[in-house]
Amino acid sequence: MAGNESDGRLAEEFFTPGNSSFTDFLAAHRPALLPTRRPFPDGVTAADGQFPHGTTVLALTYGDGVLIAGDRRATMGNVIAQRDLEKVHPADDYTAVAFAGTVGLAVDMVKLYQVELTHFEKIEGIPMTLNAKATRLAGLIRQNLGQAMQGLAVVPLLVGYDPTAPEGAKGRIFTFDVVGGTYEKPDFHAEGSGSPYARGALKKLYRRDMSRRDAALTALQALYDAADDDSATGGPDINRRIFPIVSIITENGFERLPEPETEALTREMVAHRQNQPDGPTVSPAATT
């Protein structure tokens, strides 16, 4: 944001006491920079199929923490708008967010949310609690209500590692509706057009005591099932070597699984599906 352009000094608002919310600062001094501002006049709605939409994202807790994953496809009506979209992003060291919905708004909202958490920590000297992070994200979604009602909704999925939670429950999952309602989900959840099929797969495969490897395979199986029944969800693209994004958060912080690891697990899953097209009926962890 520009300050006093004539002498290169920061404008007065940068030195005015306020709260620790960067979003509130923007709203007061540079509201046009907020991605949640209303894009169309009243009564105008976005035409269906004219804006890229992200599709399926999911999360699940496991023995060491929480995993979050997403397919890579963005669609625009019946057209594939992008094959390698990144829908899973770290929000800070112990929190991650994934999104379904209008891609352009979602990417801007994620960037603003990342700055919001960093700004709070710099002002207050401590990081937000995980509950407070969920509340802040709900506020951003609520600010986007006008755009959502015009057909440009963003549906995020928030996960984090909470060191204050009881042992075995430190990985937490939060979901939201378009008016900013916040809901904590135990064990697993999915959002986006392929989410009913992903949740169905997770329901049969999920086990709380899974290892990291089994958790990643379960997420990949669920995304594969979503792509199998939902045309907007992208399956693994072996030829182009485009695979789902899988990330975890543990006591050591956020980690995106390396591409070779994700590729190896995906190829293992696809090879297994050649003999069992509908996938496994029970989690590998349940048979050991």
Q: What are the residue numbers of the active site?
A: 55
d(Cα 211, Cα 230) in Å, to the nearest integer? 28
d(Cα 216, Cα 62) in Å, to the nearest integer? 10
What's at 191, amino acid-wise?
A: E
Backbone angles phi, psi at 115, to 5 degrees: -65, -40
**Burial of 2 per CB tally in 10 Å (0-12, 13-18, 19+):** exposed
In DSSP terms, 8 is beta-bridged to none
Per-residue burial over 181-213, b if 16 or more Cβ lie within 10 Å, else e, is ebeebeebbbbbbbbebbbebbebbbbeebebe
Give the pair of three-digit tokens for residue 115. 């700055």
Three-class secondary structure of residue 258 per DSSP: coil
Backbone angles phi, psi at 189, to 5 degrees: -165, 160
d(Cα 243, Cα 86) in Å, to the nearest integer? 11
| Residue listed under structure tokens 């967010």 | 97
DSSP one-letter code for 198: H
